[in-house]
Amino acid sequence: MSKEHTTIELADDEAALVINKNRKIQFFLPDLEDDDNVPEYIQYLTALAIFTQSDDEFVRDVLGKFQKIMADVEDGESESSIQFGEN
């Protein structure tokens, strides 16, 4: 089975986190000047990556909440604003 890679183009102010099935993580961050304050969304992405890779309880909690949200959406009890793919 050959591996196919997907190319994702990020704007100058966007960041991405890529996670494989073993929770190995790659960051794609915008270029910042050395004296720039790190924006909150970059701090959040970094924290998410650290907890995802190092904290099994965090991962279980997040997945449990996700499964509850998806079950509520399927049951028509909740509307979700989650979007997958392109905006």
79 assigned to some structural domain: no
Is 41 part of a structural domain of the chain?
yes
Q: What is the pTM of this model?
A: 0.69
- Is residue 80, in this structure, part of any structural domain at all? no
Is 27 part of any domain? yes
Residue 58's domain spans which residues? 16-74
Per-residue pLDDT at 84 exceeds 70: no
Residue 39: inside a domain: yes
How much is the pLDDT for 65? 92
The per-residue pLDDT for range 7-62, each reduced to its tens digit, is 889 999 999 999 988 888 998 988 888 777 889 999 999 999 999 999 999 999 99
Rounded Cα distance between 59 and 57, Å, is 5
Instruction: Report how many domains make up the chain.
Output: 1
Q: Is the residue at 64 inside a domain?
A: yes
Give me the mean pLDDT over the 3-8 stretch: 83
Sign of CA dihedral 12, 43, 48, 74: negative
pLDDT score at 67: 92
